[in-house]
Amino acid sequence: SDLQKQEERGELLQPLIFVLLVLCSVLLYFKVSLMDPGFVKSEEEAKAGNSEEQSMVIPQIPSNIKMRRCGYCMVKQPMRAKHCQLCQHCVRRYDHHCPWIENCVGEKNHPLFVAYLSVQLVVLLWGGHVAWSGLYVEQSWDWLQHNIFLLMSFLLIVIFTIVVLLLLISHLYLISCNTTTWEFMSHHRISYLRHSELENPFDQGVILNLWRFFC
């Protein structure tokens, strides 16, 4: 049959890889949106948990800086944590609240969020290539009537590709500097940055910043 011939020629491999990438993108989306981004636990919850695990998660705070209590949920905020009024929780290493995933991006799900953006970008570029390959531009009304949906799909893919690309580039840049979107945008309002002698006290060099974030 034609399907067997296409399989023998390897023509089904590319569609299979594309479907697997789309599936991976969907799974990453649900994983990032549903997982705990790094909510700060109260003293009671922290004591009930594994003390060794907690010591690995909570960053060491210099003695000259005191942990403050959040004015909303009344938990002790570690450095780089911020209260999200949409999630009603303080989030460790808070980056931003993403409306697309309806969840905060923080210490625990930030690497997976970057992975999701990367896979999504590959899917969009591939889909844009497929849509473009099906377009044969002709300046006629009949052509437009038959290709309007394909043309609109291509333009929509281009818009989303630009958005995802810019978002991914900005996150990789901030990660390479060991800073977050919140810290970058609100540097003048954050006490531990405003009173620091260094512009970015967390920066340890691009390679080490990337290594500690992803590994």
Non-local (6+) Cβ contacts of 47 within 8 A are none
Encode pLDDT of 75-134 as tens digits: 888 889 999 999 999 999 999 999 999 999 999 999 999 999 999 999 999 998 888 776
Please name the residue that has the structure tokens 């970008």. Answer: 121
Residue 112 CA, distance from chain mean position: 6
Residue % of the chain over a pLDDT of 90: 52
Q: How far out from the chain centre does Cα 207 lie?
A: 20
Dist. CA 105–CA 168, nearest whole Å: 13
pLDDT at 54: 45
| Catalytic-residue membership of 73 | no
Residue 113's SS3 state is helix
Helix/strand/coil for 201: coil
Q: How confident is the model at residue 63 (pLDDT cuts 50, 70, 90)?
A: very low
**Tokens standing for residue 202:** 């967390």
* pLDDT at position 199: 82
Which of 28-32, 145-149, 199-203, 211-215 comes out lowest in average pLDDT? 145-149
Give the tens place of pLDDT for each residue, 93-107: 999 999 999 999 999
Of 98, 104, 177, 215, the active-site residue reads: 98
Residue ranges of E strands in the chain: 68-69, 76-77, 82-84, 89-91, 96-98, 103-105
Q: How far apart are CA 183 and CA 189, in angstroms?
A: 9
Q: For position 148, what pLDDT does the model report?
A: 76
Q: Is the pLDDT of residue 153 over 90?
A: no
pLDDT digits (tens, 9 = 90+) for 10-53: 667 888 899 999 999 999 999 999 999 999 987 656 555 554 44
